[in-house]
Amino acid sequence: MQLVTLTGEPWADYGLVDSGHGRKLERYGRFRFIRPEPQALWAPAKPDWQAHGEFVPGSDEDGGGQWQFREPVPRDGWPLAWVEGDARVRFTAQTTPFRHLGFFPDMAPVWSWMRGRLDGSDAAECLNLFGYTGVGTLAMSAVGAKMVHVDASKKSVEAARGNAALSGLADAPVRWIVDDAAKFVAREVRRGRRYDGILLDPPKYGRGPDGEIWRLEEHLPALIADCRRLLDAQSRYLFLTVYAVRMSALAIGEMLRQAFADLPGTVEAGELAVREEARGLTLPTAIWARWSR
């Protein structure tokens, strides 16, 4: 299987300014932030970075740490936008305890690819599992897709609904569901449901609304098998992204290849990356695999 790199380019409200020595400097609208980045093994373009805040990680590699602010930043967040064609998705960025800012900007090429698979198909119905604050859901909704957005966090789903309102999509056909992703998909299989596309971005570890435990390496294969049952020969795609795990894109690509062996289409895998503004180099951020027809 040939690996493919999907590279996110800078856009008006986001850019990777510089990277190196295990950190990255990014702009989010009018604010700049420094965050840890283990993949940045090289030296930065500039030795001194000016930023509004920096996330300083704890000693435990599995999490922890805190933001340190050098200049005032709105704690309730500030609006950003991702624009493609005549679609404008607006959402709130915010410094979170999880070191990110309420969305994943390296997903932009994934949003573009999925929109291209659905373009001109207003009747398409798609599922976004582990949908978080809904930017991916809204990117697809903006091209007319009927969406089902699932996340175990009530707070995240409320934020997603707020982003829909910011984007002028409050009345769009989106079902906002607070549920454990694996349990929801299993129920959809029993109901005989089908979808035209599925996006899933599972965490390494998580808990459902009723205390369900999610461990990626243990539970992902069964979830993919159930997702396969929600798709058929007329469906368009399944797109899987995986962050912060010691796992190969080849491994998740082979898992999808076996799961979709009975359907026509193509399975691909590779890395997500973001292009740095200072030098144009690409910073890898995650691995992905997809089936598409």
Predicted confidence at residue 211, as pLDDT, reads 76
SS3 229: helix
Domains identified in the chain and CATH numbers: 3-11+76-292 (3.40.50.150)
Distant-in-sequence, close-in-space partners of 215: CB < 8 Å, separation ≥ 6: 204, 205
HSE-up (13 A, CA, CB side) for residue 203: 17
**In 10 A of CB 184, how many CB atoms?**
20
Distant-in-sequence, close-in-space partners of 81: CB < 8 Å, separation ≥ 6: 12, 13, 88, 89, 90, 91
**Angle ∠(5,205,203) on CA atoms, nearest 5:** 30
Q: What's the sign of the alpha-carbon dihedral 70, 76, 80, 82? A: positive
Distant-in-sequence, close-in-space partners of 1: CB < 8 Å, separation ≥ 6: 250, 253, 254, 257, 267, 268, 269
Predicted confidence at residue 202, as pLDDT, reads 93
**In 10 A of CB 14, how many CB atoms?**
22
Predicted confidence at residue 246, as pLDDT, reads 79
Give how far the C-alpha of residue 213 lies from the chain's centroid of Cα atoms, to the nearest Å.
20
Both tokens assigned to 8? 């996110």
pTM: 0.94
Q: What is the largest CA-CA distance in the chain?
A: 57
Predicted confidence at residue 221, as pLDDT, reads 95
Distant-in-sequence, close-in-space partners of 66: CB < 8 Å, separation ≥ 6: 55, 56, 58, 97
- Strand segments (E) across the chain: 3-8, 14-20, 23-28, 31-36, 53-57, 65-69, 78-84, 87-93, 125-129, 146-151, 174-178, 197-200, 205-207, 213-215, 237-242, 266-275, 282-292
> Residue-wise pLDDT tens for the chain (293 aa)?
889 999 999 999 999 999 999 999 999 999 999 999 999 999 999 999 999 999 999 866 556 889 999 999 998 999 999 999 888 999 999 999 989 999 999 999 999 999 999 866 567 999 999 999 999 999 999 989 999 999 999 999 999 999 999 999 999 999 999 999 999 999 999 999 999 999 999 988 877 777 778 788 889 999 999 999 999 999 999 999 998 777 899 999 999 999 999 999 999 999 999 999 989 999 999 999 999 99
Both tokens assigned to 163? 């982003």
On whether the CB atoms of residues 80 and 123 are closer than 8 A, the answer is: no
The kind and range of the H/E element at 185 are helix 181-191
The kind and range of the H/E element at 113 are helix 108-118
